[in-house]
Chains A and B, each alone.
Chain A
Amino acid sequence: MEQRVLPYLLLLPATLFLCVFFIYPFLLVAWQAFSEGGSFTLEHFQTMAGHWKFSTAFWNTMLLALAVVPVQIALALLMATLVTRMGSGRDLILYIWTIPLGISDLAAGIIWLAIFEQTGFLNSMLAGLGIIEQPITWLSYQNKSTIFLAVVLAEIWRATAIVLVILVAGMGLIPKEYYEAAEVFGAGPWKRFVRITLPMLRPSLQTALILRTILAFEVFAVVMALGGTNLPVLMGETYVWQFDLQDRNVAAAYALVILGISIAFTLVFLRTLRVPREAQP
């Protein structure tokens, strides 16, 4: 009996809290997406989907997530693995690698704009090395792929630390004996990584993937700083409709689209990386 009630008791405080501070305001906003003057309508979704920027914003958001998240996972795995092999100086290196954790997306946008703008640090360096004579306009509307690349770099720089901390924490919990045993059987580093680290890390990987993907769908401040109006994303359009066009209904529809794709991807990750209760071999 305790077994059946206990989990719900443990979830109760968080659930109650979320009901008051998230679900209640969320339902109010969600209702706006579906209503006009108190009655149900899909008109706002039609307005949203019919606007010429919607599909661009949608695909930009998707592509950005696709370009950023896998690189971040791979990079964080590499960093975490390096950390496990480090001797002295581990604390310092880990600290350095987690620095971007403390930097907000707005600040990151300011920093990376200083690098890529026409009189920025990148051009200063290239000019200093004599590679270019005239500053290159990296963030030009004619060259959206460079803007895209700049955003991807900035995002990878800014948000890999989150993944790293989660993975490092997870790796710390893998019993060392497994590696020792594998070594006895002559497994090389790559084999140990694939056969032990990756499977044992599944809960942490799942967490990191879900969180990063969801956050990637809300990418906004860095894109605004580097891309201006050239790279519309869903979150930016939500903002425009809510505050510039002052149409809360369509803004709510946009927000629901972001929520929808986030939930869809979360469910995919929950299924494909399912962590059984007895995850331990």
Chain B
Amino acid sequence: MKAMIPRLTSAVLAAGAVVGTAATANADILFWSTQAAPLEETQAMREQVLSGFNETVDYQATDDRGPWLTRIEAELEAGSGTIGLLGALHGEFVSLSDNLIDMSDIDLGDVTVNPTFQELGKLGTDEQKYLPWMQATYIMAANREALDYLPEGADVNALTYDELIEWARVMAEETGSPKFGFPAGPSGLKHRFFQGYLYPSYTDSAVTKFRSPEAEEAWNKFKELWEYTNPASTGYGFMQEQLLTGDVWVAWDHTARLADAFNQRPDDFVAFPAPAGPTGRGFMPVIAGFAIPETAPDVEAAKELAAYMLRPETQIATLEATNFFPVVEVDLPDDMPDSVRLSGTAIAAMSGADDANPSLLPVGLGENNGKFNQVFNDTFERIVLAGQDVRTVLDEQADVLRDIMEESGASCWAPDEPSEGACPVE
């Protein structure tokens, strides 16, 4: 014990020495991101994308929004920080809007950023709160074996919801187990399906017609599809896993969350557009952006990094690393990974379809962004999982949605018609 005490003391002192050194060694730009979190993508971001920048970038990514949000909120509250550049989805910036630096004065050279996305980056203000970084969308993927069960006359590249249901039914009955999969787990992106795919395809709206008879029909159709959906779907997060294991043959998900299946076995899987309903083929983009918090230690360096990230060659490297597509005008080389080739074709078919019905992302929801998504998740869980009456649930959830819209004062976004003041829930 006598010998132990000095040893303990020295250990604690050594720890104290670490405290001293850590504060000084802080020259890198910290890129704090929720995107490209899977380990291979993080690695690729560091080695292939950011290594070309003239300063060292410390790229830290987590898919768990908890630590990401807690850290930036703590820095903002403390009034000083280490994060130089934030990388996140459109929706994740919404609640931080007041503390982001205007990025409109960044010199991008001759790069042309997609104007729609750039406008989204203003988050309903006059300032460029974030700059678009990369984009993706949600598509369908199928195991080639599933194609044998396609209903007569159905074209996989111009599928309707009715055909999808029929397809899922035949597969379930003939193979003995449901083969359609849906990312309804805790980290799954199911709410995007309801907001950007199901609702626009049946109601041409996401907010105003939330409780309309058309919406009722949409939910009933989805319930029908759910009967032939793998019941383990409520645990699924990234559909590439279940596609690869064969638990699921047909799935809807984020392109980046399907990429691993396409890359591992490109010949076994096909990518195709999302289905269409009575009001068109609804689909929705995913926009990731970067922003500079007001506590950034070196704003100029962060701005330079932002400009670097938008250079065409960086954008292509980003595509290879993350499966997110460029947001600037760029010519893609031919030798891209399989996932890019497969999903790129599907995306082109989807956005170029005659009945294409693109949605935009919610703007102006502020702190209510999460609650807005929750309305759709709750509706799903109550109608589909708990089997509650569709009409009753829609009426009740519509009240919640109306409160959210009125509290935030957000006006409608596509496909809903622009509104004066808060977007109404009819």
Contact = CB atoms under 8 A, between A and B. Distances in A.
Contacts of B381: 229
B247 interface: yes
Given A134-B177, A139-B235, A142-B231, A244 B385 contact: no
B395 to A, nearest CB: 14
Interface stretch (B18-26, B137-145, B290-298, B365-373): B365-373
B45 to A, nearest CB: 23
A243 B242 CA distance: 27
B66 A242 contact: yes
Given A229-B381, A243-B65, A119 B371 contact: no
A137 interface: yes
Interface string A120-147: 0000000000000011010111110000
A118 to B, nearest CB: 4
Given A244-B65, A244-B373, A117 B232 contact: yes
A246 B91 CA distance: 12
B185 interface: yes
Given A228-B184, A229-B381, A119 B232 contact: no
Contact of B231 (A52, A117, A137): A137
A137 B245 contact: no
A226 interface: yes
B231 A229 contact: no
A45 B413 CA distance: 33
Nearest to A228: B235
B186 A229 contact: yes
Interface string B65-108: 11001000000000000000000000000010000000000000
B374 A245 contact: yes
Contact of B232 (A118, A239, A243): A118
Nearest to B377: A229
Given A134-B176, A230-B234, A246 B369 contact: yes
B247 A228 contact: no
B223 interface: no
Contact of A119 (B236, B245, B385): B245
Contacts of B246: 119
B343 interface: no
Contacts of A247: 367, 370-371
A229 B185 contact: yes
Given A137-B232, A224-B186, A117 B247 contact: yes
Interface residues of A, number: 27
B348 to A, nearest CB: 33
A189 B234 CA distance: 49
Contacts of B95: 246
B230 interface: yes
A244 B176 contact: no
Nearest to A51: B378
A142 B385 CA distance: 8
Interface in B202-246: 230-236, 242, 245-246
Contacts, number: 74
A52 B374 contact: no
Contacts of A245: 370-371, 374
Contacts of A224: 186
| Centre residue among B95, B177, B184, B234 by max chain A CB count within 10 A | B234
Contact of A243 (B69, B233, B367): B69
Interface in B360-398: 367, 369-371, 373-374, 378, 381-382, 385
A52 B177 contact: no
Interface in B282-309: none
Interface string B174-212: 001100000011100000000000000000000000000
A229 B367 CA distance: 23
A148 B168 CA distance: 28
B225 to A, nearest CB: 15
Given A229-B184, A229-B381, A244 B231 contact: no
Contacts of B232: 117-118, 137, 139-140
Interface in B227-284: 230-236, 242, 245-247
Interface string A51-69: 0100000000000000000
B65 A141 contact: no
A259 B194 CA distance: 36
B247 A140 contact: no
B234 A246 contact: no
Contact of B230 (A134, A137, A143, A227): A137
Contacts of B382: 52
Contacts of B231: 137, 140-143
A245 B236 CA distance: 21
Contacts of B367: 246-247
Interface of A: 52, 113, 117-119, 134-135, 137, 139-143, 224, 226-230, 236, 239, 242-247
Given A117-B245, A236-B186, 4 more contacts: A117-B247, A140-B232, A140-B234, A244-B65
For the complex of A and B, the 3 pairs showing the least CB-CB separation, nearest first, are A140-B231, A228-B235, A245-B370
Interface of B: 65-66, 69, 95, 176-177, 184-186, 230-236, 242, 245-247, 367, 369-371, 373-374, 378, 381-382, 385
6 contacts: A118-B232, A141-B385, A226-B235, A227-B235, A243-B65, A243-B370
